[in-house]
Chain A
Amino acid sequence: MRWRRVKAILVKESLQIVRDPRSLVIALLIPLLQMFLLGYGISLDVKQIPLCAYDREGSQASQDLLQRFAASPYFALQGQAADYAEVGRNLDNGRCRLAIVIPADFSRTLNDAGQGVVQALLDATDTNTASLAAGYAGAVVASYSSAVQLKSIERRGGSVQTLTPVEVRARVWFNEDLVSRNFIIPGVVALVMAIVGAQLSSLTIAREWERGTMELLISTPVKPLELMLGKLLPYFVVGMIDACICLALAVFWFQVPFRGTLPAMAFTTGLFLTVVLCIGYYVSVSIRSQVGASQVALLLTMLPTTLLSGFSFPIDQMPPAVQTVTYLVSGRYYVTILKGLFLKGAPWTELLLPILCLTLYALVMILLAARAFRKTLD
């Protein structure tokens, strides 16, 4: 292994990156774009659900209830319907996702039987939103319900202190505001690293084949490991720069809390980058066209990282068979680590397992990629 040869390849690759505007664009602009697009575009929070109301009674009580709905941040009252047909139309054309129907005998049943019924009609084409909407609606009604109870007890002269046996005091750890962005952004960082890393390295060998420089390269004494090192090191540097950009954006622009340490972030990002670069390199060696190589590389990194790393869907909610598959996805470990670093501020010891797995993954990929490159044409 000769450092002079590695350096020669390193210098050549760096010059090519710098002098080719397209690769610079990929390297620096895409992370920015991805962060903004995904950071703002994906929001799993459900707020301001469009609501329409059909008040068949029009009493003080029913208006009180509707007032609570209007005041809730989770709902946006679109208007009051005049009849069922209108309610139906509004749900059909999407003007509202939830319709609250208060029956004509609402106050009477409340006062006399002590039992009021309110009908909620839900558009469940998006089941997630629908379940949340139902939950929130239930909560609004429950709070109204307990208010009615309290008033009734007070009227009869009783004490309210004894009437609420169990109360749930929820304390949210790690993401106090329950802001979905806080757990999405770390995932986006992983995704960006996966995409950029794979794109950059997948083109490098394929490009030599397409331009006709590979045959000459093979006929020189350069060793496969030297070639790999020399080619991937510049991309590693670019990738780390991208990681810094993403981190800066996450913390300063998106206001995601970062509670981990920078060295930990650097080390683990370096590991993940190594894995992704090696995957891209391996693809580049196997597929001799640039277009084909970049597509396959993207498929192998972006798709698993998006779907199976825990970025968009929690792993423990997946079917057991799929959960086993996620062990093979390097993104899984990295996303776990990132969430730990950003939100939990977890120390090294807590993250030891995913770090070890990622290290192992990286070593295996390096070996595979280095051996994949053969110095013969056939």
Chain B
Amino acid sequence: MMGEAAAGVIQVCGLVKRFDALTAVDNLNFTVQPGEIFGLVGPDGSGKTTTLRMLASVMRPDEGSIVIDGVDVLAQPEQAKRHVSYMPQRFGLYEDLTVQENIRFYADLFEVPQSSWTARVDRLLLAADMAAFRKRLAGQLSGGMKQKLGLICSLVHTPRVLLLDEPTTGVDPVSRREFWQILYSLRAEGVAILISTAYLDEAERCDRLTLLHAGSMMYCDTPAGLKARMPGAMLEVVAADPRRALAVLRDLPGVQGVLLVGVGVHVHVDAPQRLASVGAALAAAGVAITTIAQVEPSIEDLFVALLDQAPVEESA
């Protein structure tokens, strides 16, 4: 949690970034410990990419401080780069170079000692299941493999901190799972990983996460902790005609939101006790229901519920 005494390997304090009239990042404060996967979760335009860029010393903040592995990033950006590995959202590989040549390039840029280089690369390629593709031109890899190669290139210099900007967007689920396996093994080695994502379900894979909205941090906690914070309760109603159910429940007292899902509806109520009245309302309207039960809210439910609480300016 924020403000704890443990000095994390990433310490962000009062970070602000403005682009003309727009405040892209508004007073961010958080700490990430070694061996922790920390998620920056939010939609496009919420400030994730800008935050990561500032941590990677690719952009300068207007206010605030960033300390990574003991190095003041603002004062010594080039020094900080040695401790950090950054995989940008829109990253490209050198398509005319082979997998091996791409990795070699970054190893040289980070001056990885020759002795440890080959062993590390072998290990990384094996972990990513790409050992057979050493000599393949990067341009000929599938989307998921390119992401994995990008990750390997970032990892070649054994950073203590890994910054990933939406690394799995649009990637097939199998590659995504393998990607996360690599992240988990890095976590076990003590690497601090800061990952941004717009996939709210991916947020559940993180140890801790913060919800970003319009540049501000809304909440910062573990997934379980965040779900516990959600006011009220989430009910799932499985019905034959979900749309009718939705129409019936929308204006019911105590119902704060109704969401149509394929199999039925998810109802956000202000207290779990409302289950009875919900069931009664549906019965009275003649809507046949299969089951009605309390379920765990998803991160998306959480986001919407918490957002609705805070007054939100929707226009740009």
Contact = CB atoms under 8 A, between A and B. Distances in A.
Nearest to B81: A221
Interface centre among B96, B109, B153 (most CB of A within 10 A): B109
A215 B90 contact: yes
A378 B110 CA distance: 24
B93 A213 contact: yes
A8 B95 contact: no
Contacts of A9: 105, 109
Interface in A277-299: none
Contact of B95 (A211, A215, A220, A377): A211
Interface string B23-64: 000000000000000000000000000000100111110000
Nearest to A226: B109
Interface of B: 19, 53, 56-60, 77-78, 81-82, 84, 86-88, 90-97, 101, 104-106, 108-111, 153
Contacts of A215: 53, 58, 88, 90-91
A7 interface: yes
A317 interface: no
Nearest to B137: A19
A282 B207 CA distance: 45
Contacts of B92: 211-213, 216
A142 interface: no
A19 B91 contact: no
Contacts of B58: 215, 218-219, 375-377
Interface string A1-26: 01011011101100110011000000
A26 to B, nearest CB: 15
Contacts of A217: 109
A2 B57 CA distance: 20
B109 A222 contact: yes
Interface of A: 2, 4-5, 7-9, 11-12, 15-16, 19-20, 211-213, 215-223, 375-378
For the complex of A and B, 6 pairs with smallest distance between CB atoms: A212-B92, A8-B108, A219-B86, A211-B92, A215-B88, A19-B96
Contacts of B96: 15-16, 19-20
10 contacts: A8-B104, A12-B94, A12-B101, A211-B95, A212-B90, A213-B92, A215-B90, A218-B58, A221-B81, A221-B109
Nearest to A213: B92
B82 A377 contact: no
Nearest to A18: B96
Contacts of B105: 8-9, 11-12
A15 B102 CA distance: 11
The CB with the most chain B CB atoms within 10 A, among A19, A212, A219, A221, is that of A219
B111 A2 contact: yes
Taking each of A9, A11, A377, which has the highest tally of chain B beta carbons within 10 Å of its own beta carbon?
A377
Nearest to A220: B109
Given A9-B109, A212-B90, A212-B92, 8 more contacts: A2-B111, A12-B105, A16-B97, A20-B96, A216-B87, A221-B111, A222-B109, A375-B77
B57 A4 contact: no
B81 A220 contact: yes
Given A2-B111, A4-B108, A219 B101 contact: no
A198 B66 CA distance: 41
B312 to A, nearest CB: 27
A5 B109 contact: yes
Contacts of A218: 58
A15 to B, nearest CB: 6
A16 B94 CA distance: 8
Contact of B94 (A213, A221, A377): A213
Contacts of A11: 105
B169 to A, nearest CB: 14
Contacts of A212: 88, 90-92
B91 A8 contact: no
Contacts of B77: 375
A250 B209 CA distance: 69
